Every structure is written in C-alpha cells, then in structure tokens.
Structure 1
C-alpha cells in the first residue's frame, strides 16, 4: 500500500488549524506577509529562469556560430554551395533554431538551408540583418521573436561573408510563462484555500502566529532562495557549486531535486559545447581557438624566463586538387591521415609540452618548447617533410602530396602571439614559393618579400589605364600545311620603374587579389578588337582566330557568356574566330557549373580549349562530360618528348583519344624542328612555340599575315 504523503498543503492546513485561535489580531499582517511572499517567489523564479535560459541560449548560439564560421570558411571562399547547404541544414535541425543564413561580404544571402536556395543573392532585409552584416566580430542580438547570433567569416584580413543563426524565443518564453504561471497559480491557490482558515484564526495567540511565519520561512521561502542563488551561480557559469539535496517528500523537495538534475544536465551540455568549441571535429586535434589561448598563456609564462618556443606552420601542398578531383570525402580522409602522421611525429620528437592543432582547411600548427627549440624544430620539420611526402592510399588510389612548413621562434622573431602567427604564415608561404614540400625559417627578409608583393598589387591596380599592360600575339600553325590559322593573345606588363615583369609573377598576383576580374574582360575586348582587323586568307577564305586565356575567377563568376557576347557584338568579330582557353583544373573544380557555362558559350559559336592538358588529376574521362572543342598539350610533355618515352607515349595517347572524341589537339612550347616533325607524324592538328614564332605586337602579327 502506498504511504500517505504529508505534503506542503497538508502542512499548511495543520499549521492553520493549530493557530486558528491566536492570529485574529494579526490578520492584516499575515495577509500582507503572504502577498509579499508570493510576489517575491514569483519574481525570484522568473528572474532565475529567464537569466538561466538567456545565458544558456547565448552560449549555445555563440558556440554554434563560431563552429559554423570555422566550418564554412573554405566552402564559402570557394562558393561550394553543396557543402554549405549540408552544413546549414545540419545546423537548422538543432532544437529551437528558426533559421541559419550564410551571406557574402555584401550582406547578400548565399545559402538559407533550402535545396533550391530561392533567396540566393538577395539582400537580407530583416531588422537585425544590417548590424549582423556590418559586424566584424561575434554579435548577439535580441528581438521580440528571436535571438540572432552572427559572426563574420574571413580569410586572412579579407572578409568573405558571415553566418547567422536565429533561435526562436517563442518556446522558451512559453515555457517560462507556463512555469511562472504554474508557480503563481499554486501560490494563489494556496492563498485562497487558506484565506478562510486565516479569517477563522483571528483570535490565535501572537506567539503561535510568529511560529507559523517562521515555519513558512523555513519550509518554503528558504529553499526557494537557495534555488535562486543556485540559478544565479549557473547564470555566471559556475556549475561546480554545491549540489542542492533534499530528502523532503513534498513539492519543494521535488523542485529541489528537479533543479539539481537540470543543473547536472546544463553542466554536461556546457562541457560538450566547450569540447566542440576547442576541438577540431574532423581530426580530434586542438582547434585554432584553443591553440591561441594556450599560446597566449605559454608566452605569458615564458616572458623573462629566458626560454624559447617554436611554432611550425604546416600546409598541405596542392590539397585543393584532391577536393576538386576526388571529392570532399576523399579530402577529409587525406586530412585525417595527414593529422595522424603529424601526431605520430610530434609524439616521437616534439617533447612532452608539444601541442598540435588544426587551424582549419589543410593547415596544421605545432608548438614545441623543450630544449634547443631551433634544433628540435629543424629535426621535426625534416621528418614531417619526409613522412608527409610518402603516398597516401585514398579510395583505393595512391595520392602523392607534400607539405610546406614555415617555422618561427619566440622571442627571436617576435614576442607576441599575433606577430608569431603572422611570421609563421609568411615563412610557410616562402616554403611554397621555394618549390613546396620543404621548410623555411622566418627571417626579416621575408617581410620585405611580402611588402614587395603588396606593392606589386598596388602598382597593378590602374596599370591598364596607365597603358603599362599590353597584348602580344603568338602564331598558331596548322601542322598539315604549315599555315598560320590563329594566334594566342598573351598579356605583358612593362612597368616604368621595374621594367618588364614576368607574366608568371603578376598574373599570380592578379589572381589572388581578384584584380583579374577587371583585367580579364579588358584583355578579351582588346584581343577581339585586334582580331577583327586581321585579313582573310586568300586560299581558305578564312581569317585567323584569336585564343584568349580565361581566369578561373571569371569562370566562377558566371558572367563570362554575357561578357563574351558583348565583346563579339561591339567588335564585330565572328564567334567562330574566338577561342577561349581554360585550365583543366579550373573546369573540373566545379564540373557541373563549368559544363553549363561552356554549353551556353557553345550556343553562341565560341570554341573552348582546355589549356595545360595532362597536368591535372582528371584524365581523359572528363572530356566526355565537359563540352570542349580542343585541348592544348602542356609544354612539359613536349619539351621531354624526344628523350622520355613516357612523355612521347602520353602525348600520342592524348592525340589519339582526343581525335576519337572529335576534339582538336594543340601542342604548345614547340621549340625544335624535331618536335614539330614528331607531332605532325603523330597527327597533332595545331602547334605553337618559339620555333614557329615569338609573341609579337598586333601590328607585327597583322604584317605577318599579309
């Protein structure tokens, strides 16, 4: 048989029955005390619940947004809408999440979690959007309906967009109102039930009244105050406060036990959030945030102690090609294998105080501070270059990559964390410039190299308007009859102070800075204008075509078909005489997008060639899925074709396979007559190179055609 429960209501009934004869003279005081107690309980309960809910929601939102910002950096930079969509939809399924928006640097929506992204490219118009789009840091905004948490997404100093997460306040406020309403109604119900008893107890002794007040204070107000204090402790993040315990078998006991269970749950959630905030989800390594906090702490401890510290910045070489060709799942597998190899090397050689972190993407950072850190860093870097240069097996295929490592020392190179990390990035970049798969220590001269690059970017701005940039044209011959059938337009930069700057230098600067997006259309228009004046061949009754290189940035923008149509319309050049050259990796990096753009170009009559063919990961299978008219065999195969049987076999295979698909084959870099003869014997269609003609001005090329 279930034992009878001596609950709170029964205790009040018994107490009121005992004090019926002694509280008549103190009715007004008792009623006033009861009213004050009800308001105090209601206020404390509301304050505790609101503060706890608001703080928990803010912490949860900030942790989620920071994690989303790290996860979306690379997909947003490369406009990878599929990966962005997967990440956004996963976040949208979290409890209380009303929306997740990813936007670009202009505040326009990039993804909203839907599959059709109907709002793509549209500006965010809600009242909180402007502050979120303009903020460079983590921002939490409250409205009547939602809590909006946003954070900017940047690469280096360049802000590329941001992410917003909105949490609905409706359910939270409804829960608060229900809880407060239930508590208030219980107190009011108790007050109404006991009102009649208080009226009958007007004659009770004052001493008994005092005893009842003390009893109520002890059994009800005191426990609730304890709950309020515990809620305030939770509100400031103190989850280790003394746990409330109650053996009472009444409503207050139930409330105390429920509150203690809720405290344990919030503490577990906080630990999980902290683990997510400080750990890289893919590799399990320390992430950027936790590494930076640890670095700041260690630098503070080392200052004035005469000890050194070394940072190694390791970046996987050509990792983007893995994602572009094998897919992001294969890329994740490569990152995991790299992380495991680096972890093993650090455990063997880094010392007890070594710390390994993944900074996002394909960049890893190692901190060592044991012994002679320069010698230890050198030894570890050599081991990493060797081990990470070994092939990886991914999806049954061998993948050969490498790593470029930059090393910086404290306090020799810098005394602050920000400067050290910048120096490590600079040294790592210099390792890539030096040929990749190697390591470099930071030096002051590297800062000068970076300054020169920044200066070159500044000089490149406006170079076209100042007349420093010009086009030259290299003839393209038909191997069948040695006839000039076209020319490739090549960009040159003659700086008034620096002289002639190699295209391999300034084109790379233009690509990375985004200037190519303004230079590219001008090059296209100038080449079309020049070609429109070339004379018709009296034998074939055809004028030579012009081939123009197209940047991957121009291809990704999606405006290329409209730009081409505008140039052809304004210059009067027939579409069949314009050949656009795109690199193989630019096309296969987003094959679906590229195929749609190339198909649109084909409908206008423009021809498309794949440049540097054979150097990418794609293989000839992509030629069946991407609508191209021609391929240009990379000059590296042509140069060694006479000495290397493999290059000759590969060149022959490319020609045969392309012809089987009805695709024209162009060989570039032909510098010897023997190369020309071999290519003609193998059935190659067209060729260009110094043996047939150097790049020349438009007027010189036009004279060559006469």
Structure 2
C-alpha cells in the first residue's frame, strides 16, 4: 500500500485554510468594533462640531469687526454717515448677523444700518452694551440668544467710537444640528459601503486562494531561472543576448517579454537622456551646454583660417513684469512665442550654419558663421528688433516687450568662448542702458562703462557717512487753495570728484547692489527728523506731512513696519504725517505680501501712496485689494495732457475712479500753469512740480511754511 505523503500542495491548502479562518475571525471582530466606534464617533462629532461652530463664529466675528473698524475709520473721521450706512448695511447682509451698530466713545448710536437712523444719538442700554463701550480692544460677549462682538475704531491713538456686530445663536445651533445629522447619515452610508467592500474583498481573497491552489503544481522554476539569467545579462551590460519568447498570457509571460525588450528600452532611454541634456525643455532649442560645446568646436576649427564668427545675445526687455503680473504660465507662453519668432528670423537670415540656443530665463544666443558676419548680424538684429517689438497675445491681452541685443565678433573682440560670451553679455547690457529694444556691437569702451558702474557702486558705499548724500524737499501743494501741505523727500549725491550724480543713475546702482537696504532706513529717519521740526498748526488738516520713497527691496524684506515704527518713535513724528511712496510694480509683484505689510502700516496711521501710477500692468482693480491712501499720477501723463486728449482722458479717469474708492490723487511733474488749472478743474487733490516749487533743503522748506 502506497504511503500517503503530506506534500507541498497539502501544506499549502492547510495554510490557506488557516489563513482564511483567521481572516474571518478578524473580520467579525472588526465589524463589531466598527459598530461601537461609529457610536463613539457620532458623540464626539457632536461635541467637536459644537466647539468648531463656536470657534468659527468667534473668529468670523473678530475678523468682521476688524474689517469694519478699518473700513469705518475714514468715513467716521469725516462723519460721512452715507458711507457709514453703506458699510453697515453691507455687513448686515452676512448670514446670521442680527444687528450692526456704530457708536461714539460715549456709547451713543451713530448708525444702525437703517435709512432713517431712528435711534441716532440714543445711548445703548442693552445688557451687553456696558462692556462693549468700556472695552479698549475687541471684546466678545455671549448671551443665550446673541453673540456680541465689538471693537474700537481708532485713528492712531484717538478713539472715534466703536462697532458692534450681533450674531444669532439660534440659527447657528440650527446649522450645527443639521451638520451633526448629516454627519451621522454619512457615517451610516460609509458603514454600509465599508461592509460591502469588506465582503467583496473577502470573496476575492477566497477566490484568489482557490486559484493559487489550482495552479500551484504548474512549473515555475524554468521561467524563473530564465528570468534570472536575463537579469544577470542586463546587469553586466549585455543588451544583445538572445531574446526570450513566451506565449503565456499571465504575469510571468509579461515579465518574460519585458525582460526580452529591456535592453532595447535602456538603449532608447540612453539616447533620450542625451537629447534632453542638450535641449531646452520649454522651447525645444539647443541649451547652454550644447551651445558651449558647439562654440568651442567651431572656434577650434576657425583658428588660423581667417574666418569670422558672430555671437548675438538677445534678452527680452521687462520680461519679469510678465511673470509678476500675469503669472509664470503666461511667461512660459511668451518665451515660446519669442523662441518661434527668433527661430523664423534665424532660419530666414542667419545662414545654413547658424545656431540658436536658449541660455535660460529670457536670454537667447545666436551664432552666425557664413559670409560677412558683421553685416549679417546687423541685418538679423534689425529683423529681430522689429519682429520682437510686435505685440504678443497672451491670455486674451496684448503684451509689448521688445528685446535688447548685444553683438560680439571673433576674432576681432576675443579669441576664446568665455571672453566672447562675456563681451556679448556686456554689449547686451549696453543696449538696455541705451533705451532697450535695440542692438549694440561690443567695443572696448563698454568694458570701461562696466568699470565705471563698479566704481560707482564702490564710491556709493560709505557715501552717507562721508556726508555726500543729502535730502532735499519738494513742496506738495493742495490744489483747492494752493497751500503747501507737505513735501517729498528726495535723495541727492554730491560726489567730490564726479559732482552731482543723477538720482536715476545711483538709485539704480543702489537697488541692484543691495545698498538701498542700508541707505533707505537712514533716508527715512532723516526725513522724519526734519519733518518733526516743521512748525504745524493746531488744525489736523494743516499738519505738514513728509513723503518718502520706499524701494522694492525694502518692501520685500518684510521688516518695513518695524523700521517705520522705530523711526517714528525716535523722531517723535506723528504717524499721520508720514507718507510712504511705493512704485506700482513693486506692490503688484507680490500682492499678498505687500497687502499684509501695507495693512500693518495703515493701521498704525502711516499713509501709503502708489508712485508712478498708470505705468505698470495693473489697474485700479488692484486698489480694492491693496490698502493704499493715495496714488501719484505719473509725470508722463501730466506732461502731455495739454496736447494729448488721450492723456487728459486717462488722467481724468484716474482722478474720478480713485475718488470713488476714497483715495487721494497726487499729480507730479506740474511744470505749466495750464496743467495746474486743468488738474484743479478735474478735482485733483494735490500736486507738485517745478512750476509750484523746486526741491529745497530742510531749512529752506521750514522757512517756506513759517
């Protein structure tokens, strides 16, 4: 009689049976625990929902009162009840708001959102009124029916009154109960779905085990050994070994066929990697690495052959503004369109051996080798300036950019690749200095210009300590009565050897080198100290202000509010007498960051103006999101408003729209009486310019206002 053997298959069947029994026991335990946990989760969910609703209501109320306090400051200061009413009625439209009350420091009601304001001037006598009036900061009170959130309305340290917002607890409790019921229903649905999937997975597990038991006797050793041999061949780099063939339509067959084609796939991958390493992924052009290798090779072939080569460095003008205002996706689209235009021009005029590459960012490099390369480079540059100066359609709007091109020649300018590329970059920079959207050939004098810029930067370091930098003050006039109401602080540099250096020159050097971060705080402190000495009247409207320009670097650093607060504290200047001027493009380049900083300054009482308004990509829509007190119309619009109807119309529109937002409008560059008269007729608030007054020293300005 043949002895029965407890073989591998029997052991496997027994192991699977034990596994299924364990899984079934665990499943039953899991279902029981799930039922218990569902009940616990429902109770915990109710408690958590209650706490979350109260916390959410508290945060929402505090945020709403903070926004109302900021929004009501100016209307309440000027006692503009219509504006106060509009703001209150807008807040009353929010869900769950029972009432919004604006009151004076003594607790008398100023506005309740109604058209008649029947309770105007009456004292608030409800049980929650006393604590709301006495609170010096935001205060929250709870009653069985109402959550009352109040906060003071301040201008600097002066309290104009306060605002109260009441939220209905009954409606909040209703929302809470509905949310808990929905959550319980959702838990029941999830439980049913979970049970269905658990049963389905259990059936799948049983079926899989049965299938494995049925196929356990099939031969697997041979294909596995073949796969091991194939893997060893790939490991040693042999991609040409005999291909494995399998007709099996299962995972083993797929694995065999995958190993059979792996050597071909790796070879193709190697070729793709090399192509990617030498190609710009965005434009499909040759990249810096491949271009440098090609340039080195061509220079080696040209040495001693008496032939020339030209390099053109093309950089998109003001491309950063596209990324800052339209986003990086729009910037990528602009780069692709520029690349296509440059490619078409190079194919048409560059010759057969021309090579175009993108060096990264917004910089493109072109190599020309055929014929008279100087003449060819000139013609191609003129074509590129014309083509790239045409508008580009991006996101349903037209963008005007242009390009600056620097040209250098081999062997006339340099004999090595590194020197050639350096010269091309210098020539391109000189094209930008010349006004952009043009081209320049490299010359030895350009090296001297770069050296002068480096020297200027070195001389600027320590210029403040040496007493070379000083401030002058250009008067700012109120157009309604032609009276001086303040001054703009302007930085001047009197160099002992170079004489008076133009601000447009050294400010740009200071900004690019980072020196502005050291000079800016000193300018602010000196301007505040000078303004603190100016005699002022008792009327707050007659107090003279000083406006100080803030660079984009200072705005990006994030410590501007702290620096301003320290300067005001040291000099004793009132915050309302300090106006900070920021360029429009500096604010919109990072609107979220700028809005947070400007909101902090605004709450401290410091005024914020947008300088050169109208020259950037933004519009007045940004003023709704950025807390500014005034805009300065760029001098380019003021200069041509007497003869250009478009500039006059645009200036008039800016004044009207800014006034609709409660924003002060300042005109700069007023140099003619006609400009002054038109601006006054159009309702412009303030103005400055040579026709009104030249920049003067602090002492001379003090004499003007005494």
Asked if Structure 1 and Structure 2 have the same fold, meaning a TM-score greater than 0.5 normalized by the shorter chain, the answer is yes
Q: Show structure 2 runs of 5+ residues with no match.
A: 1-220, 247-253
* Deviation readout 1:432-479 (Å, 9 max, x if unpaired): 111111111111101100110011011111111111111111110101
Q: Secondary structure at the match of 1:352?
A: coil
Tell me which of 221, 242, 250 is aligned to 1:245. 242
Match of 2:3 in 1: none
Match of 1:316 in 2: 316
Pair 1:669-2:664 in alignment: no
Match of 1:411 in 2: 411
Higher mean C-alpha deviation, range 281-290 or range 546-555: 281-290
CA shift at 1:361, angstroms? 1.2
Higher mean C-alpha deviation, range 267-276 or range 403-412: 267-276
* Deviation readout 1:84-118 (Å, 9 max, x if unpaired): xxxxxxxxxxxxxxxxxxxxxxxxxxxxxxxxxxx
> How many Å separate the matches in 1 of 2:688 and 2:343?
49
> How many Å separate the matches in 2 of 1:645 and 1:496?
45
Match of 1:681 in 2: 681
* Deviation readout 1:365-401 (Å, 9 max, x if unpaired): 1111011111111111111111111111112212222
* Deviation readout 1:399-443 (Å, 9 max, x if unpaired): 222111111111111111111111111111111111111111111
CA shift at 1:231, angstroms? 4.7
Which TM-score applies when normalising by structure 2?
0.65
Check 1:538–1:345 CA distance in 2 against 1; reply closer, same or farther (3 A cut): same
Pair 1:423-2:420 in alignment: no
CA shift at 1:227, angstroms? 8.7
Q: 1:245 touches 1:257 (CA, 8 Å); kept in 2? A: no
Q: Secondary structure at the match of 1:311?
A: strand
> How many Å separate the matches in 2 of 1:372 and 1:703?
67
Q: What are the residue-to-residue correspondences of 1:230-379 with 2, within 5 Å?
A: 231=235, 234=237, 243-245=240-242, 261-379=261-379
Pair 1:573-2:573 in alignment: yes
Higher mean C-alpha deviation, range 456-465 or range 501-510: 456-465
> How many Å separate the matches in 1 of 2:406 and 2:244?
62
Match of 1:563 in 2: 563
Match of 1:203 in 2: none
CA shift at 1:261, angstroms? 4.2
Check 1:263–1:698 CA distance in 2 against 1; reply closer, same or farther (3 A cut): same
Q: Secondary structure at the match of 2:345?
A: helix
CA shift at 1:653, angstroms? 0.7
> How many Å separate the matches in 2 of 1:438 and 1:302?
29
CA shift at 1:228, angstroms? 7.6
Q: 2:233 touches 2:239 (CA, 8 Å); kept in 1? A: no
Match of 1:631 in 2: 631
CA shift at 1:539, angstroms? 6.1
> How many Å separate the matches in 1 of 2:698 and 2:635?
24
Q: What are the residue-to-residue correspondences of 1:75-94 with 2, within 5 Å?
A: none
Check 1:426–1:680 CA distance in 2 against 1; reply closer, same or farther (3 A cut): same
Q: What are the residue-to-residue correspondences of 1:428-467 with 2, within 5 Å?
A: 428-467=428-467
Q: Secondary structure at the match of 1:535?
A: coil
CA shift at 1:264, angstroms? 3.1
Match of 1:468 in 2: 468
Pair 1:546-2:536 in alignment: no
* Deviation readout 1:660-694 (Å, 9 max, x if unpaired): 11000000011111111111111110001111111
> How many Å separate the matches in 2 of 1:325 and 1:531?
36
Which TM-score applies when normalising by structure 1?
0.65
Q: Show structure 1 runs of 5+ residues with no match.
A: 1-189, 191-219, 235-240
* Deviation readout 1:300-349 (Å, 9 max, x if unpaired): 12112211111111111111122222222211111111110100111111
CA shift at 1:351, angstroms? 1.2
Higher mean C-alpha deviation, range 325-334 or range 414-423: 325-334
> How many Å separate the matches in 1 of 2:559 and 2:669?
31
Q: What are the residue-to-residue correspondences of 1:46-57 with 2, within 5 Å?
A: none
Q: 1:311 touches 1:368 (CA, 8 Å); kept in 2? A: yes
Q: Secondary structure at the match of 1:312?
A: strand
> How many Å separate the matches in 1 of 2:396 and 2:234?
56
Q: 2:244 touches 2:259 (CA, 8 Å); kept in 1? A: no
* Deviation readout 1:483-509 (Å, 9 max, x if unpaired): 111100000011111111000000000
Pair 1:495-2:492 in alignment: no
Q: 2:324 touches 2:588 (CA, 8 Å); kept in 1? A: yes
> How many Å separate the matches in 2 of 1:257 and 1:592?
55
Match of 1:510 in 2: 510
Check 1:540–1:481 CA distance in 2 against 1; reply closer, same or farther (3 A cut): farther
> How many Å separate the matches in 2 of 1:595 and 1:621?
14
Q: What are the residue-to-residue correspondences of 1:149-298 with 2, within 5 Å?
A: 231=235, 234=237, 243-245=240-242, 261-298=261-298
CA shift at 1:270, angstroms? 2.4
Aligned length in residues: 476
> How many Å separate the matches in 2 of 1:422 and 1:353?
22
> How many Å separate the matches in 1 of 2:654 and 2:524?
29
